Amino acid sequence: MSDLTRQQLLAYRHVLQHGSHGADSGSLPLSEATRTRALAVVASLYRYSYDTGYLHANPAAGLSSGSRARAGFAPTRLIPPALLAACDAWLDAPEADTPNPLGARRRCAIWALYRYAGVRLAELAWSAESGLPRLDAEAPGRWALYVCGKGRKTRAIPPPTPCVAVLRAYRLARGLPAKSPTHEVLPVIHGNKGEALQRAGLYREVKAIFAAVADGLQAREPAQALLLRAASPHWLRHAYARTLVVDHQVPLPAAQALLGHASVQTTAAYVKTDLGQLRYFVERTFTDPTPPPDQ
C-alpha cells in the first residue's frame, strides 16, 4: 500500500470510471454503484491505515465521494401502481391450463416475496452455510422471513397476509406443511432439480412475469409495455420502499430496518421523490394550531 502513489490511485479511479480500452481487456462498463463501492473500499482502507499510524500520509484522501453520492441518491426505477396491479392480476389468473402447476405456484411465491418483502435479488438465493433465507411461522398470521443482507447482517421481515397466503399455497404444492416449522432447513424457493433456485433463476422468473404482462399491454399501451420490459426485481424493492415511506408514511427508522439500509439517508431518499408528501408535511407543520407538548 505504501508503494502506491496518488497518481496511481487517480489512474485507478479513471479506469473504473471509463474502463480499460486495451485490445485484450474485455472489460465491461461498471455501474455507478459498483464504481462508488470499489473506491469507497480503497479509500476506507487507506484512511484506517493513516489513522492507525501505518501510513504517514493518505494518498487516497478525497478519492471516493461515496457518502456524498449516497446522500444524493434518488430512486428513479419505479413501477407505477397500475402496472404492479396488472402483474398481480396476471399471476392471479386461473391455473387450469397451466402445464406446470408447481412452477406456477413457485413463480407466484417469488413474486410475492419480492413484491411484499422488499428483499434484494440475492437475499432470496439459498445459502447452505447460513441457512438463509428462512421462513418461520411462530403462530397463524405471525410469519417472518429471515434473510442475510449486506455486510452479512441478518434481518427479519414480517410478510403481510397476501404474501403469507401465496407462500402457504406454494408450500402445499411442494408437499410441505403449509406452516413452516421452527428452524426448518430447506430452501425457501426450490430449483428444477431439487436444489435451490439461485440468483439467475430468480431473476429469470421475475423478468418472465414482466415480459408476459408487457406482451398483453403492447398493442394498447406500448410505453407501459416498454417500461415493464426494462424492469428488474430491484424495481420491486423500490416499489416496496415507496409504499412504506411515501404511501403509508411508515417512520423512517422502521422502514430502514425492514429494507436493511445501512443509512437512514437512503431510506429518506424515497420521500424526496414525492413532492406531494413533502407538501403535506409542510402544510401540517404550519397550519396545525396545536404546538408540540414541550413548547
Q: Is the pLDDT of residue 290 over 70?
A: no
Distance CA 35, CA 279 (A): 35
Cell triple for residue 231? 424492469
Domains, the chain, in order of start with CATH, read: 6-71 (no CATH), 82-232 (1.10.443)
What pLDDT digit, counting tens, does each position of 144-184 carry?
Answer: 999 999 888 999 999 999 999 999 999 999 999 998 887 78
Ramachandran sector of residue 183 (left: φ over 0; alpha: ψ -120 to 50; beta: rest): left
What pLDDT digit, counting tens, does each position of 68-93 carry?
Answer: 445 556 677 889 999 999 999 999 98
What pLDDT digit, counting tens, does each position of 9-23 carry?
Answer: 889 888 888 776 554
What pLDDT digit, counting tens, does each position of 3-58 carry?
Answer: 888 889 889 888 888 776 554 545 566 777 788 888 888 888 888 887 777 888 88
Q: Is 138 helix (H, G, I), strand (E, B) or coil?
A: strand
Q: Measuring CA to CA, how many Å separate 282 from each of 45, 279, 287? A: 42, 5, 8
Contact 158, 144 (CB under 8 A): yes
